Amino acid sequence: MSLITNVMDHSLDDGYAEAAARKKAEGTGGMPKTLRARLGLAAGLVLAALVVTVGAAQARVAAPVVAKEREELIDRIDAETAAADKLEDGVDKLRDDVSARQREALENSGGSGRSDLVGILSGAVEVRGPGVKLVVNDAKDVGTGVDGEARGTSGFSNTGRVRDRDMQRVVNGLWASGAEAISINGQRLTALSAIRAAGDAILVDNKPLVPPYTVLAVGDGEGLSSRFQDSADGLYLHALQENYGIRTAISVADGLTLPAAPSLIVRTAQPISEKGTS
């Protein structure tokens, strides 16, 4: 309490009080004494007030202009966004129309047996039948392998995460094992499909996929499953499960439905004439 009482009684430091008293005795403290000094102080105060007043007036005058420009900019952004959305809708409609015409052309190419085969191979038609369901998922603890060993990649290292190269091997292994049609997370694959990576995301035909990755493959169910698991790619997937904790589950399904590919790229090949061969 004595400390608080002392602070309250002596709120002004003794040194400051002594300096103030000395200036007062010398006549140097307080307001200017001479007329010239007083006029200089008054002129400084008037100038400062004038600067503040002019600045406030300019800001007040410019405020409506700035607000108007801001509103015009917002209107332009909204208009350009609407135009871009309209163009995007038009592109989607044209793409759907092109895909529909391509499917129609493939369905009408030759006899019914040939058109069905062409439609399946090109991904132009929906496919139903028996096959295999394979689910591939990241490890529960992504970043650490079962034995702590790092799994290197071209740009970075990580463990327990499914990579694009893993899905490439899975898909190629299923094709080699006799799959007639394949889809990943509902995305139908064709002979021209690309599986790539963008950071940690896996892209199939430039569309990002989210784990778990469900791979559906139409074909001879039991035979397809056995051939894939005994193949080099099936053993590779098993090694990922054993060494890095990547979760996999494969089962045989009697009735699978794979959608048609969202977009088709139709290419034709012409036989080489005999005259051009030696």
pLDDT digits (tens, 9 = 90+) for 113-156: 555 666 666 666 788 899 999 999 998 877 544 444 445 444 43
- 92 sits in which H/E element: helix 35-107
Taking CA 105 as the corner, what is the angle to CA 101 and CA 109, rounded to the nearest 5 degrees? Answer: 175
- Give the rounded percent of residues in the chain with a pLDDT score beyond 90: 32
What is the greatest pairwise CA distance in the chain?
122
Is the model's pLDDT at 178 over the cut of 80? Answer: yes
Q: What is the pLDDT of residue 212?
A: 92
Please, which contacts does 103-109 make with residues 24 or more away whose CB atoms are closer than 8 Å?
Answer: 103/260, 103/264, 105/266, 106/264, 106/266
pLDDT at position 130: 93
Domain 127-258 has CATH 3.30.70.1880: yes
Average of per-residue pLDDT across 41-57 = 83
Percent of the chain with pLDDT over 70: 71
Return d(Cα 151, Cα 130) in angstroms, integer: 35
How far is residue 154 from each of residues 127, 160, 164, measured CA to CA in Å?
36, 16, 12
Residue 43 has pLDDT above 70, yes or no: yes
Residue 187 Cα distances to 194, 203, 261, angstroms? 11, 10, 7
The C-alpha atoms of residue 191 and residue 122 are separated, in whole angstroms, by 7
The tens digit of pLDDT for each residue in 213-226 reads: 999 999 998 999 99
Question: Model-level pTM?
Answer: 0.55
Residue 13 has pLDDT above 80, yes or no: no
Q: Which pLDDT band holds residue 61 (cuts at 50, 70, 90)?
A: confident
Q: Give the lowest-confidence range in 12-21, 35-44, 131-140.
A: 12-21
Residues in CB range of 159: below 8 A, 6 or more apart: 139, 142, 143, 144, 145, 149, 150, 151, 244, 245
Q: Where are the domains of the chain?
A: 35-108, 127-258
What is the per-residue pLDDT for 182?
92
Strands (E), the chain: 127-137, 151-152, 157-158, 181-184, 187-188, 195-198, 201-204, 207-209, 213-218, 247-258
Q: Which residues pair with 97 in a beta bridge?
A: none
| SS3 per residue for 210-248 | CCCEEEEEECCHHHHHHHHHHCHHHHHHHHHHHHHCCEE
My answer on whether omega of the bond before 212 falls inside 30° of 0, hence cis, is: yes
Joined tokens for residue 58:
């300019």
